[in-house]
Structure 1
């Protein structure tokens, strides 16, 4: 998977969702916000001519938030 340069707001959305997941309190609003953010990112990337798979964006974002040491190395 290629390295993806995620915007800070999308990373923050995923961090919020991860915190809620860990607390057993993920809300529909938070999940929908992450979903919409990923969809918006993928759409913008494709419009800019980048070949981006939604799956790669979702997994890359989770990697950065949930396993930051592994993502940086």
Structure 2
């Protein structure tokens, strides 16, 4: 499956899903008192997201990795209403 080429918009949607998973882990971490173990899942999810953004930018020849991340975060956390 790693050899299978996915179009950029489909791959970008996977980044949105990873960002949402990271945010879910952050919300869960906030549900109780601080502990390193409680935040470990968020740190891991955030690292997976960051690494995936970097890899996506390289794979699809995007020059600005930070713009990609901003676009993905905006889409994940502030989605626009579906067009009818």
TM-score if structure 1 supplies the norm length?
Answer: 0.69
Q: Which runs of 5+ in 1 are unaligned?
A: none
Q: Which runs of 5+ in 2 are unaligned?
A: 1-7, 31-38
Q: Per the alignment, in what secondary structure is the counterpart of residue 9 of structure 2?
A: coil
Q: Per the alignment, in what secondary structure is the counterpart of residue 59 of structure 1?
A: helix
CA distance in 2, matches of 1:6, 1:30: 20
1:42 corresponds to: 57
Using a 3 Å threshold, how does the CA distance of structure 1 residues 14 and 64 change in structure 2: closer, same or farther? same
CA distance in 1, matches of 2:70, 2:78: 11
Alpha-carbon RMSD: 2.4
2:48 corresponds to: 33
Structure exhibiting the larger radius of gyration computed from Cα positions: 2
CA distance in 2, matches of 1:53, 1:12: 20
2:24 corresponds to: 19
